[in-house]
């Protein structure tokens, strides 16, 4: 897992370090699997970004993995359909399959307690 090829996504390394040093319990570590720039992949990236900015501002990191570049990376999280979002942290691991266009489903799937 450690050697994953990623495309960098927001939450710059600076904020990442800040979060870690703060040892906040609810740091969200998200991983999005895409296939190049297929329409659903592109949609998923932008939907996720918007969602996180709205509900998890300052508390998240996103890692985007392009399976077209390296299909073998699908094995670890047992990805079948693309795009798929994996919540690595907070545990337990959760998966949402699809382009994340249905906001309600994302909230439920991520087990996000609002408020």
Binding site residues, another protein, CB under 8 A: 35-36, 38-41, 67-68, 71-72, 74-75, 79-84, 95-102, 109
Query: Which residues have C-beta within 8 Å of that of residue 83, sequence separation ≥ 6?
Result: 32, 33, 34, 35, 40, 41, 43, 44, 45, 97, 98, 99, 100
User: What is the smallest separation between the CB atom of 109 and another protein, expressed in angstroms?
Assistant: 8
Going across the sheet that includes 28-34, the strands are: 7-8, 60-66, 28-34, 84-89, 94-97
User: What is the smallest separation between the CB atom of 28 and another protein, expressed in angstroms?
Assistant: 20
In the complex with another protein, the residue whose CB is nearer, 44 or 52, is 44
In the complex with another protein, the residue whose CB is nearer, 14 or 72, is 72
Instruction: Give the pair of three-digit tokens for residue 8.
Output: 């960098």
In the complex with another protein, the residue whose CB is nearer, 23 or 75, is 75
Are 109 and 63 in contact, with CB atoms under 8 Å apart?
no
In the complex with another protein, the residue whose CB is nearer, 19 or 87, is 87
User: What is the smallest separation between the CB atom of 14 and another protein, expressed in angstroms?
Assistant: 33
């Amino acid at each position: 897992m450690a050697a994953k090829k990623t495309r960098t996504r927001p939450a710059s390394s600076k904020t990442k370090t800040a979060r870690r040093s703060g040892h906040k319990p609810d740091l969200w570590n998200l991983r999005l699997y895409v296939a190049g720039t297929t329409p659903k992949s592109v949609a998923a990236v932008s939907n996720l970004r918007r969602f996180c900015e709205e509900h998890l501002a300052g508390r998240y990191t996103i890692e985007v993995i392009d399976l077209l570049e390296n299909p073998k990376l699908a094995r670890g999280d047992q990805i079948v359909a693309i795009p798929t979002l994996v919540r690595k942290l907070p545990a337990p691991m959760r998966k949402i399959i699809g382009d994340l266009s249905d906001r309600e489903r994302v909230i439920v799937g991520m087990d996000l307690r609002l408020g």
